């Protein structure tokens, strides 16, 4: 009996001694050229440098959420940046939402990377994932609040605010639209106004914000408002399509082919022409369909197809 206990204690002692080395080994792999063990953080930095999302995901899964969280909250800014970028690629990346939320009050570069990753983790692309991993609702709520606060923070740099607003737009399925977004659409910087228009188009103030923004003196802002109002997906509720604002239709007719219109906005504006469906609108869509290859032509082809237009081949 005594010998059996001694043997058991010896085995436990050996296992305890081995555990730190086993944990360390899980975070490393052998270099194929030298055969030496490579720390996971070195691989993480390399993958981040080359913007290799697949590699980021592989390293992140090998490290696990606990070690990634420690890297994110650590003092090495480069490692923290790489770990934050890896979070959305990890299988259990949603477990890092709380840790990422806590990074939205530090240095600008750190806040931007954290915001980008939160936008991807909260975009609702994988329904049920928050429940599957039992992410604390408080973590999700704090992440949404901190994102919206950063998006509206007047003292933050323009780049940081725009990143937070883009992330907030991506996170709308989880976080909703910031309550102050309508006010942001009246700020001085046209870049902020444009981002606010796109964000507001997903919320309850959509109609009023877009209608006012269509008269903005900056073409980037007014173009975004027209495009957002024209977008057919945003006008479809309960299986029914709501007609676009007549002001948006009129503007789309001139802006869709204007040289200064952003390509992405011009593509969305074609939905207004398809909705109005006057002979002139049909003719314009047909001429675009026969034009040189471009995203504009591709959308015109879709809109002039029999599914959208019974009278066109």
Mean pLDDT in runs of 10 for the chain (313 residues)?
Answer: 42 39 46 49 93 94 94 95 96 96 93 98 92 96 98 96 98 96 95 96 92 94 96 77 91 92 95 93 93 93 68 41
The confidence score (pLDDT) of residue 7 equals 46
For the segment 81-106, what is each residue's pLDDT rounded down to a tens digit?
Answer: 999 999 999 999 999 999 999 999 98
Q: What residues does each domain of the chain span?
A: 38-176, 178-313
Tens digit of pLDDT for each residue in 254-273? 999 898 899 999 999 999 99
Report the alpha-carbon angle 189-121-229, nearest 5. 45
Q: What is the CATH number of domain 38-176?
A: 1.25.10.10
pLDDT (0 to 100) of residue 286: 94
pLDDT at 174: 96
156 neighbors 105 (Cβ within 8 angstroms): no
Q: Check residue 215 and give its pLDDT.
A: 94
| pTM, to two decimals | 0.81
What is the reported pLDDT for 29? 54
């Amino acid at each position: 009996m005594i010998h059996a206990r001694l043997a058991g204690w010896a085995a436990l002692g050996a296992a305890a001694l081995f555990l730190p080395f086993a944990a360390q080994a899980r975070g490393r792999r052998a270099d194929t050229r030298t055969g030496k063990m490579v720390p996971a953080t070195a691989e993480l930095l390399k993958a981040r440098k080359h913007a290799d999302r697949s590699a980021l995901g592989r390293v992140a899964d090998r490290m696990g959420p606990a070690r990634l969280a420690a890297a994110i909250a650590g003092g090495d800014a480069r490692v923290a940046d790489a770990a934050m970028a890896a979070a959305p690629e990890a299988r259990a990346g949603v477990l890092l939402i709380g840790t990422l939320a806590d990074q939205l009050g530090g240095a600008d570069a750190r806040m931007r990377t954290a915001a980008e990753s939160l936008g991807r983790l909260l975009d609702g692309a994988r329904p049920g994932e928050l429940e599957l991993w039992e992410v604390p609702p408080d973590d999700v709520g704090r992440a949404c609040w901190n994102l919206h606060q950063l998006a509206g923070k007047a003292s933050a740099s323009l780049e940081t605010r725009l990143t937070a607003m883009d992330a907030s737009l991506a996170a709308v399925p989880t976080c909703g639209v910031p309550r102050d977004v309508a006010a942001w659409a009246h700020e001085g910087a046209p870049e902020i106004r444009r981002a606010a228009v796109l964000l507001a188009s997903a919320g309850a103030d959509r109609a009023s914000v877009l209608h006012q923004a269509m008269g903005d003196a900056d073409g980037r802002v007014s173009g975004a408002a027209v495009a957002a109002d024209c977008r057919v997906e945003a006008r479809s509720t309960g299986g029914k399509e709501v007609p676009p604002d007549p002001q948006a239709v009129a503007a789309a007719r001139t802006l869709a082919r204007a040289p200064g219109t952003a390509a992405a906005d011009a593509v969305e504006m074609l939905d207004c022409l398809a909705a109005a469906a006057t002979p002139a609108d049909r003719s314009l869509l047909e001429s675009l369909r026969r034009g040189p290859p471009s995203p504009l032509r591709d959308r015109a082809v879709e809109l002039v197809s029999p599914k959208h237009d019974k009278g066109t081949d």
